[in-house]
């Protein structure tokens, strides 16, 4: 295997040059690169598989998310990718680490068909530490190896797949293979899925969340949420330091970032509301996916290719990021949801049982573009705010959440970044300024002990006032013109919660009773 021209751990400037020479990307006026990924502009969840083997069979939460594929079919596709990389062609190899905790990381090797994929992997994963002369003489030994070749396609009739695309995790052989899709997010999330299998067995809580810390270095906060809820935007806070924007672990040494870069959504981004991310996207070396260029400038409002436009850049592009990727045990955990029905309160204080309930629920409205086929928001429940990436059984992750929240007396809030005044298409999205004021109040401790009203439908305790936030926003019913329609919509959403939690028969009754009531 690998008899072609190999570019191993190349500098970013060289990879930029190769990507331009090979016409994989276009360079914007700012120097950032733009790649167009064709048919696949988001994750393809129906094309993701885990190899079913005796060593993992009883641990995996098999179902619609974690779909098994036979070792025989995996071997056929692995042979296709091996043959592809063994042909006379250029290929790119990136060696990196996943996990900032020195005792809880893995060595990762990524084989890429395209130079822009190598840029993505170099930015996104953690760079290897500087090695001594003695260490340089030792080979790099990967704990996980990933092969990504978009030109390699599956044949559903013979390979056991749903389409020509495939993302296959072989846990037993510590290998991932990806074919037919050029969307770089598949690389990121496949590695995340592997970490979410590995770390709980070490007693470490893997989390689909962003993290930042106060400038005093003491008040760490975590932001859980699915794509489009605001994890990246809200954690990139000028008055706090960024630990990471998407994937973290929580262990005895505190919180640690899995990654060394950010993968931010670009749709409708504005310099005024998201200055740090805006600046990072416009720097030379940033790699942008599927954003329209007009006369060399980005048009972030144009959805010609997808609403799921993305940009990857290294953490150091955020001026106040933390290079070590480490933070203290969190004082606050914030569950983010983007409710497109317009009925959830913008902020609620959660007890330990309520935190467990909403962690299992993982409610949001799936926004357009994050997955293939999603054209407008629709209610969805994704356990742990990241169900598609969690291979193990639900109680494994729930027990870790409860353990760490209780041990470190972490306060938990549910924050809705979605719509008010009506559902999507009628109401409007809560302003980023209002959401930031809510987050600031939480992280400054102003909501630790405040008067709250009880929302009887959702069984939530909602602060009655927050500095800088209109009281009408805090009670969604006040912003609806048709109150009857509001209550009908709220009860409809509450029913979806009640039906969803039934999927978890092993959950204690105290947690069930902490959720919405019909």
Examine the residue annotation and report whether 43 is marked as an active-site residue of this protein: yes
Contact of 394 with 504, CB cutoff 8 Å: yes
Catalytic option among 246, 339, 434, 455: 246
What's the rounded Cα separation, in Å, for the pair 192 and 249?
11
Catalytic option among 48, 182, 188, 231: 231
- Of the CA atoms within 13 Å of residue 391, those in its CB half-sphere come to 29
Tell me 447's DSSP state.
Answer: T
Contact of 331 with 132, CB cutoff 8 Å: no
Examine the residue annotation and report whether 231 is marked as an active-site residue of this protein: yes
Q: What is the H or E stretch that residue 357 is in?
A: helix 352-361
Residue closest to 332 by CA, chosen among 252, 254, 409: 409
Residue matched to tokens 């939480």: 442
Catalytic option among 189, 240, 402, 411: 189
What's the rounded Cα separation, in Å, for the pair 401 and 484?
37
Examine the residue annotation and report whether 294 is marked as an active-site residue of this protein: no
Contact of 462 with 453, CB cutoff 8 Å: yes
Catalytic option among 122, 227, 235, 412: 227
- Dihedral of CA atoms 137, 143, 148, 153 in degrees, nearest 10, equals 130
SS3 497: helix
SS3 257: strand
- Dihedral of CA atoms 443, 449, 454, 455 in degrees, nearest 10, equals 0
Examine the residue annotation and report whether 310 is marked as an active-site residue of this protein: yes
Catalytic option among 126, 208, 248, 372: 208
- 392 phi, psi to nearest 5 deg: -85, 175
Catalytic option among 10, 18, 41, 43: 43
Rounded to the nearest 5 degrees, what angle is found at the Cα of 89, between the Cα atoms of 88 and 92? 135
Examine the residue annotation and report whether 481 is marked as an active-site residue of this protein: no
Residue matched to tokens 């988001």: 42
Examine the residue annotation and report whether 227 is marked as an active-site residue of this protein: yes
Tokens of 79: 């042979």
Catalytic option among 232, 341, 382, 479: 232
Contact of 412 with 335, CB cutoff 8 Å: yes
Tokens of 39: 């048919």
Burial zone of 485 (CB within 10 Å; 0-12 exposed, 13-18 middle, 19+ buried): middle
Q: Which residues lie below 8 Å from residue 137, measured CB to CB, with a gap of 6+?
A: none
Examine the residue annotation and report whether 412 is marked as an active-site residue of this protein: no
The neighbour count for residue 389, using CB atoms within 10 Å, is 24
Alpha helices in 87-184 (DSSP H): 115-124, 133-136, 156-159
Contact of 242 with 315, CB cutoff 8 Å: yes
Examine the residue annotation and report whether 240 is marked as an active-site residue of this protein: no
User: Could you tell me if residue 502 is left (phi over 0), alpha (psi between -120 and 50 degrees) or otherwise beta?
Assistant: alpha
What's the rounded Cα separation, in Å, for the pair 275 and 470?
24
Q: Give the burial string for 30-62 (b: 16+ CB within 10 Å, else e).
A: bebbbbbbeebbbbbbebbbbbbbeebeeebbe
Active site residues: 43, 189, 208, 227, 231-232, 246, 310
């Amino acid at each position: 295997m690998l008899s072609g021209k190999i570019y191993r751990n190349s500098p970013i400037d060289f990879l930029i040059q190769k990507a331009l020479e090979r016409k994989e990307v276009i360079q914007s006026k700012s120097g950032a690169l733009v790649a167009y990924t064709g048919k696949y502009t988001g994750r393809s969840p129906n094309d993701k598989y885990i190899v079913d083997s005796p060593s993992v069979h009883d641990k995996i939460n098999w179902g619609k998310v974690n779909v098994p594929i036979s070792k025989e079919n995996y071997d056929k596709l692995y042979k296709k990718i091996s043959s592809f990389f063994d042909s006379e062609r250029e290929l790119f190899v990136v060696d990196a680490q996943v996990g900032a905790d020195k005792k809880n990381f893995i060595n990762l090797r990524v084989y890429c068909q395209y130079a822009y994929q190598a840029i993505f992997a170099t930015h996104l994963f953690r760079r290897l530490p500087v090695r001594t002369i003695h260490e340089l003489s030792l080979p790099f030994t990967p704990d996980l190896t990933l092969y990504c070749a978009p030109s390699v396609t599956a044949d559903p009739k013979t390979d056991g797949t749903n389409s020509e695309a495939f993302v296959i995790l072989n846990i037993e052989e510590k290998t991932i293979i990806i074919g037919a899709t050029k969307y770089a997010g598949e690389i990121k999330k496949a590695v995340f899925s592997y970490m979410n299998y590995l770390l709980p067995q070490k007693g470490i809580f893997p989390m689909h969340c962003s993290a930042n810390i106060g400038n005093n270095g003491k008040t760490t906060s975590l932001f859980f949420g699915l794509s489009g809820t605001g994890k990246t935007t809200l954690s990139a806070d000028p008055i706090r330091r960024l630990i990471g924007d998407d994937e973290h672990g929580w262990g005895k040494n505190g919180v640690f970032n899995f990654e060394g870069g950010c993968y931010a959504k670009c749709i409708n981004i504005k310099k005024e509301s998201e200055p740090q991310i805006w600046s990072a996207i416009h720097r030379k070396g940033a790699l942008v996916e599927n954003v329209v260029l007009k006369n060399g400038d980005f048009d972030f409002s144009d959805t010609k290719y997808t609403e799921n436009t993305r940009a990857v850049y290294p953490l150091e592009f955020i001026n106040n990021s933390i290079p070590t990727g480490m933070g203290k045990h969190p004082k606050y955990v914030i569950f983010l949801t983007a409710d497109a029905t317009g009925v959830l309160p913008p902020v609620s204080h959660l007890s330990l049982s309520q935190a467990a309930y909403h962690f299992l629920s993982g409610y949001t409205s799936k926004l357009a573009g994050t997955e293939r086929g999603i054209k407008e928001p629709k209610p969805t429940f994704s356990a742990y705010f990241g169900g598609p990436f969690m291979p193990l059984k639900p109680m494994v992750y729930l027990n870790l959440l409860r353990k760490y929240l209780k041990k470190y007396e972490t306060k938990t809030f549910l924050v809705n970044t979605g719509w008010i005044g009506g559902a999507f298409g009628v109401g409007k999205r809560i302003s980023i300024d209002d959401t930031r004021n809510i987050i600031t109040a939480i992280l400054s401790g102003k909501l630790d002990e405040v008067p709250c009203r009880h929302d009887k439908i959702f069984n939530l305790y909602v602060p009655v006032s927050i500095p800088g936030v209109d009281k009408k926003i805090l009670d969604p019913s006040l912003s609806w013109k048709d109150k009857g329609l509001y209550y009908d919509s709220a009860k409809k959403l509450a029913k979806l919660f009640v039906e969803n939690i039934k999927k978890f028969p092993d959950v204690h009754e105290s947690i069930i009773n902490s959720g919405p009531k019909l």
